[in-house]
Structure 1
Amino acid sequence: MKGKGILDQVKGQSSELSGLPVTVVGLGMEGVDLVRYLAARGAEVTVSDARDAERLAGQIKQLAGLRIQLSLGENSPEVTQQAAAVYVSQGVPLDLPAIEEARRAGVPIRSMMQTFLEECRGTVVGVTGSSGKSTTTALLGDIFKAAGRDTFVGGNIGVPLLSNLEAIGPGDWVVLEISHTQLELTDVSPHIACVTNVTPNHLDRFRWDDYVDLKRNIVRHQASGDIAVLNRDHEVSRGFAADTPARKVLTSLQPIAEGDAAFLAGRSIVVRIEGRELEACSLDDVRLPGRHNIENVLSATATAVSAGLDTAAIKRAIQAFHGIAHRLELVRRVNGVRYYNDSIATTPERTIAGMRALDGPLVLLLGGRHKHLPWEPLVSEVAGRCRAVICFGEAAHEVREALATAGYRTLLSLTTWATPWKRPPRRRSGATLSCCLPPAPASTRMTTSSSVASTFAGWSRPSRTGPDDGASAGAPPPGGA
């Protein structure tokens, strides 16, 4: 059974999956969620993953007791071609031979996000962007809860969706962070779609035009009764207004004279909906550092007001919000040095935004996996701010070469987090020094939150002559707008 008949069975008809042979490609977090969802509905599930059982031991343990088949060590086209439908976990390349062969055989290719958007009974708010989407999603979740709305927050932030599907009712709100790969196979858009920005990213896997087109999917399938919240200050996100019939709400760090919008006017965040203008909060209410976070607050505010939430709840949530892990997270203060985990900053642009949010000189740890992004703006910023740069990971050579070519000489290398500095950074008289880990390229196993926290804790042990200023969690104090 192939083609339209099967597609009708699996699309929006979860009760009709019973007895159907389906294949899940990729046993990551989404893959585990998909397997549980499909097996619970009676589908005959086969898991296809190029990794072996030893490397997947943790995921396989989570599926104990389910009647499923495992096809491991390779992605066999035979397993996908014989399926009634193939479900692809996010991040799995769609040009994988096993997926291409299934498509040629007429097998429907689906995803977790597509399935969730089709079947969710609640009202969905989706947030995407090259940067800022995690912070905006988390803040939005807090705003909805401050307003007393029954709200589920999930998506790309690590919370499984399908396992929570049945608990979400028609009166509930769902706030989702949605990545570009989660938008690859979607033909459904959220009721409210928020785009924080679209800038060069993931160019190691996608051409720029293809990457932009994936982001466009969040508004592409909206209807006239839906809402698109778009950052006017970024050319690409502003241009998405032409791609959706939905009502547009624009955001900007500059005043917007007309139309539905959220913008900065002096030190006030102002929102205008249907001609009515309100002050949502002041910049003094924002606990997050940097102008990039003001953009995130504007996106969250515009989205919340578009959902009918009052400004009092918005202000309360903003005042109480101190950021999320790995986003300029203050790990420790010792000997006048602040240690920040900014490991979500996996592009040069994000790294610059984090640097500009911090005052004083910096020691920067840069590395990870190279994504073929331009280094020039970051090199210029480093030259004017950094006392030293420590290079690590696959991109260490590219980082060193880019900085050295520009004449920057204070470069060190790091091969393992277990290697501490013999002489940790110390504050010079009259200046506050920050030691910050923003990988700039994509993060690697060396940049997990636990490795960063334990490394910084070890590196920043107080010396005999310098008192420990105390460990701290959360974001640093505001660095100004």
Structure 2
Amino acid sequence: MDERSKIAILGFGLEGKAILEYLQKHHYPEITVCDRNEKLKNEMPGGASVQLGKQYLDGLDKFEVIFRSPGIPFLTPQIQAAKLAGAEVTSVIGFFMDQCPCPVVGVTGTKGKGTTSSLIYEMLKQSGRQAGVDVFLGGNIGRPPIEFLDQLNANCIVVLELSSFQLQDMKKSPHYAVLLNTTTDHLDYHADRDEYLRAKESLLAHQHKDCVAVLNKDYEYSKYYKPLVKGKLYWTSIKEKMDGAYVSDDRLFVGKEKICDKNEIALVGAHNIENILMAAVIAKELGADIKNISEVVTTFKNLPHRLQFVRELRGVKYFNDSYSTTPETSMAAVDSFDVPTILIAGGYDKGLDYGRWAEKILTKKSLRTVILLGQTTDKMEKALIEAEEKLSTSGFAPTKVLRRKKLEEAVVEAYAEAEEGGVVVMSPGAASFDMFENYKERGNEFIAHVRKLK
């Protein structure tokens, strides 16, 4: 790509705006913004052409470089046709990786990316201050990394949270790769499970022998990704001792050094132990000392909308886990509590299977009531009925199932059902798009309703 290239930016969200600003700052004159939203015409800065409305993807083959925003599927026919016609299809992340002058830590997986990326960032930031190293956090969390590209030099470190959408057309892998648990997600976006898994492969596919990868021995798909590792591989586990990080006698270790006892961890949720172990391996590999790692682990609280503590009222604690958009993450939230629990679940149907989720709900003894809402209500209730029939001979916890149409109604019902000393957790296990703009809006509404309770 040079300053004479005809450039298209597909999608004018956070990343689209960031790459337009960067390209204009660096004097690329021929830029066209393509977006479905016709109202953007009045918001567009000077110097850029626009192609708006339903036909915004028409004629892409006239461009030499196409920046695809994460929300537009890589396999969109118009994009693939432009690629066949000779266009270079890239993304903000792909462009950043090509230009970045310093080491990059890439973190991906179905869930846990934001927490793990933030843990690594905090661990490195603590040590970096002492060593004069600047650390940056971006990608799917924080801000588009293109915004700080001009501030980087060889002495910096960048930590990126990367979704499958961002990885699909990436042709350069991060020097340090952390691959968390991978389950079927975004099947409404990807063609099938295999395409989703292949998207995650990009984190490792373009590494070389001097690179570093961290995998969890306990995860089913780690064996799928192991053959892709070309450099140094560290394993983590909560079940057995590993060369990277592990748990032994309720204590966390990275290498041979103790991080802390399990009961000293500030994060809520047993699944976060896995995130901590993987973060600690990368932080240590990049020079963080054990004191800084331990300090972060014992003080770092849950990120917003990720088992976020909201308030305690009349002996009941309320947790917002709106970021939970898969059955597995809702199951992890339920497993985080052994006190009487009320679960609010349901949302937009992405075509996921709720069989295992239903079995977890019925066999978790501390779970008292499930309140369903949203598009997945019928699907989840059917899964619970089928699980009840399957488990009828083995015994299971008596779980009450309620249906509500609005989140406010669900919160009020949860308040009425909750027991002193127990918890209410909204962990939907489904996306938010049937009722809300995104998971943040859903989580913020939950928080607002909880704070209104008296």
TM over 0.5: yes
Aligned partner of 1:322: which letter?
Answer: K
Q: Deviations over 1:26-47 (max 9, x none)?
A: 1221111122222222221111
Which residues in structure 2 correspond to 1:24-423 (within 5 Å)? 24-43=9-28, 44-53=30-39, 56=40, 61=43, 63-64=44-45, 66-147=46-127, 148=129, 149-206=133-190, 207-256=192-241, 260-272=243-255, 277-383=256-362, 384=364, 385-407=366-388, 410-417=400-407, 419=409
Residue 475 of structure 1 corresponds to none
Q: Deviations over 1:213-232 (max 9, x none)?
A: 11111011111111001111
CA RMSD in angstroms comes to: 2.3
CA contact (8 A) 1:426 1:433 kept: no
Change (3 A) 1:428 1:409: closer
Structure 1: unaligned runs, 5 residues or longer: 1-9, 11-15, 464-481
What is the alpha-carbon distance in structure 2 between the residues aligned to residue 224 and residue 189 of structure 1? 12
Q: Deviations over 1:186-244 (max 9, x none)?
A: 11011110112212222233312221111111011111111001111112124322112
What is the alpha-carbon distance in structure 2 between the residues aligned to residue 132 and residue 443 of structure 1? 18
SS in 2 for 1:163: helix
Q: Deviations over 1:436-468 (max 9, x none)?
A: 1111022335364355344444355454xxxxx
What is the alpha-carbon distance in structure 1 between the residues aligned to residue 450 and residue 239 of structure 2? 42
Number of residues paired by the alignment?
A: 435
Query: Aligned-pair distance for 1:19?
Result: 3.3
CA contact (8 A) 2:216 2:235 kept: yes
Aligned partner of 1:268: which letter?
Answer: R
Query: Aligned-pair distance for 1:395?
Result: 1.8
Change (3 A) 1:83 1:417: same
- Which of 439, 442, 467 is the aligned partner of 2:428? 439
**TM-score calculated relative to the size of structure 2:** 0.89
SS in 1 for 2:349: coil
Residue 395 of structure 2 corresponds to none
What is the alpha-carbon distance in structure 2 between the residues aligned to residue 217 and residue 377 of structure 1? 29
CA contact (8 A) 1:24 1:46 kept: yes
Change (3 A) 1:242 1:413: same
Query: Aligned-pair distance for 1:427?
Result: 6.9
Q: Deviations over 1:305-344 (max 9, x none)?
A: 1112211111111122112111111112112222211011
Q: Deviations over 1:68-109 (max 9, x none)?
A: 111111244544111121110112112323212212211111
SS in 2 for 1:279: strand
Aligned partner of 1:311: which letter?
Answer: I
What is the alpha-carbon distance in structure 2 between the residues aligned to residue 223 and residue 310 of structure 1? 26
Change (3 A) 1:49 1:358: same
Query: Aligned-pair distance for 1:396?
Result: 2.3
- Higher mean displacement: 238-247 or 414-423: 414-423
Query: Aligned-pair distance for 1:397?
Result: 2.3
CA contact (8 A) 2:369 2:400 kept: yes
Aligned partner of 2:157: which letter?
Answer: W
What is the alpha-carbon distance in structure 1 between the residues aligned to residue 406 and residue 226 of structure 2? 46
SS in 2 for 1:425: helix
SS in 1 for 2:296: helix
What is the alpha-carbon distance in structure 2 between the residues aligned to residue 285 and residue 188 of structure 1? 38
What is the alpha-carbon distance in structure 1 between the residues aligned to residue 53 and residue 200 of structure 2? 32
Residue 6 of structure 1 corresponds to none
Change (3 A) 1:423 1:409: closer
- Higher mean displacement: 150-159 or 374-383: 374-383
Aligned partner of 1:184: which letter?
Answer: Q
Change (3 A) 1:427 1:247: same
What is the alpha-carbon distance in structure 1 between the residues aligned to residue 52 and residue 407 of structure 2? 32
What is the alpha-carbon distance in structure 2 between the residues aligned to residue 114 and residue 159 of structure 1? 15
Change (3 A) 1:362 1:109: same
Query: Aligned-pair distance for 1:413?
Result: 3.2
Change (3 A) 1:328 1:38: same
What is the alpha-carbon distance in structure 2 between the residues aligned to residue 112 and residue 158 of structure 1? 14
**TM-score calculated relative to the size of structure 1:** 0.84
- Higher mean displacement: 206-215 or 277-286: 277-286
